[in-house]
Amino acid sequence: MSVTSEAEKYEAWAGELKQQLETYEKLRRQVRYFPLFALLTSPLGFLRSPQAAFVICLAWMSLWATTLYITYMRTWQYRTELRKTNQEVLRLHELEDEGG
């Protein structure tokens, strides 16, 4: 396998990682509304009982915390992978420049 084709594969992978990062950043922007949904829907639980309202609020807040954690961890993972991929692309381009 030539250095050029290997570098192209890494560059394509870097493009996919950038797309994934954009997707997770968009998701994080959408997740900020979860506490608002908790405030809007938990009063409906009072129609049944205060415990139902509490459970609805707790469910939204748990979903919010879990989603934030997952998106932050995946974003960190993708950024780390993107940094390593970019370093490898630079290394391959340097090898290509030295060889030809």
pLDDT, tens digit, for every residue of 72-97? 999 999 999 999 999 999 998 888 88
pTM: 0.77
Burial of 87 (0-12, 13-18, 19+ CB in 10 A): exposed
SS3 content of the chain, % helix, strand, coil (to 5): 90, 0, 10
How many C-beta atoms lie closer than 10 Å to residue 17's C-beta?
20
How many C-beta atoms lie closer than 10 Å to residue 82's C-beta?
18
Averaged pLDDT score across all residues of the chain: 92
